[in-house]
């Protein structure tokens, strides 16, 4: 099943680490976890804190141990298709979390949400849209959904941002279904 995943982090620096993770399954089930930093994770950027509004003291007092969060992710997300809007950044923080818990950093892998959106639209439209128009139709459809979503800035909280990615996927899927019906009905 598709799972939309997002991390918030201590900064965008080389030594940054995950401070919050959330995921939303395609069917809407979700989880969010504040992550208590490992003792060796000391990087902190106040500008990043001003964006996500999660303080280091909150992580230390209310965050779950990093290794428990990593283990929970393995248990719940293993075998699913994990998607992220920024897989290079989110993949970095996933790797930091898994390695910090002594787990194989390749136990979970992310891919780009955009790829899954394109694949789903292609699957829905391929039997209705002429092959020579399929790529352009998908590109236009995705662009239309993005235009409709303009003005909705990321919340910079993991659960809200993961849910926003799921909503984008659902919107493209719905629009592709409507378009396929129009092609089929003409």
DSSP code per residue over 60-108: HHHPEEHHHHHHHHHHHHTTSEEEESSHHHHHHHHHHHHHHTT--TTSS
Q: How far is CA 83 from the centre of its chain?
A: 5
pLDDT at residue 144, rounded to an integer: 87
Q: Round to whole Å and give the CA distance between 125 and 103.
A: 40
pLDDT at residue 182, rounded to an integer: 85
Q: Are residues 90 and 10 in the same domain?
A: yes
pLDDT at residue 149, rounded to an integer: 74
Q: Are residues 8 and 67 in the same domain?
A: yes
Q: Are residues 81 and 104 in the same domain?
A: yes
Q: What's the maximum distance between 2 C-alpha atoms anywhere in the chain?
A: 63
User: Could you give the 3-state DSSP secondary structure of residue 171?
Assistant: helix
Q: Are residues 120 and 93 in the same domain?
A: no
Count up the domains in the chain and report the number. 2
Give me the average pLDDT of each 10-residue run along the chain (186 residues): 97 96 98 97 94 95 98 98 96 97 96 95 92 92 83 81 94 92 70
Q: Of 94, 111, 128, which one is at a domain's C-terminal end?
A: 111
Residues whose CB is less than 8 angstroms from the CB of residue 151 and which lie 6 or more positions away in sequence, other chains included: none
Secondary structure element (H or E) that encloses residue 148, with its range = helix 131-149
Q: Of 58, 79, 111, which one is at a domain's C-terminal end?
A: 111
Q: Of 111, 141, 157, which one is at a domain's C-terminal end?
A: 111
Cβ–Cβ < 8 Å for 32, 24? no
Q: Are residues 67 and 124 in the same domain?
A: no
Domain around 38: 2-111
Torsion sign over Cα 174, 178, 183, 185: positive
The enclosing domain of 29 has a CATH number of 3.30.420.10
Q: Round to whole Å and give the CA distance between 166 and 102.
A: 30
């Amino acid at each position: 099943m598709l799972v939309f995943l997002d991390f918030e982090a201590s900064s965008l620096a080389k030594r940054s680490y995950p401070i919050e993770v959330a995921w939303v399954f395609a069917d809407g089930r979700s989880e969010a976890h504040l992550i208590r930093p490992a003792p060796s994770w000391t990087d902190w950027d106040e500008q990043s804190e001003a964006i996500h509004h999660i303080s280091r003291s909150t992580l230390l007092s209310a965050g779950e141990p990093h290794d428990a969060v990593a283990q929970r992710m393995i248990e719940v997300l293993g075998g699913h298709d994990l998607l992220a809007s920024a897989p290079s950044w989110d993949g970095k923080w996933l790797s930091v979390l898994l390695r910090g818990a002594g787990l194989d950093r390749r136990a979970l892998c992310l891919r780009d949400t955009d790829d899954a959106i394109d694949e789903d639209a292609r699957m829905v439209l391929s039997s209705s849209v002429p092959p020579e128009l399929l790529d352009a139709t998908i590109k236009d459809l995705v662009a239309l959904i993005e235009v409709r979503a303009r003005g909705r800035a990321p919340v910079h909280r993991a659960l809200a941002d993961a849910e926003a990615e799921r909503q984008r996927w659902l919107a493209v899927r719905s629009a592709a279904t409507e378009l396929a019906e129009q092609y089929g009905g003409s």
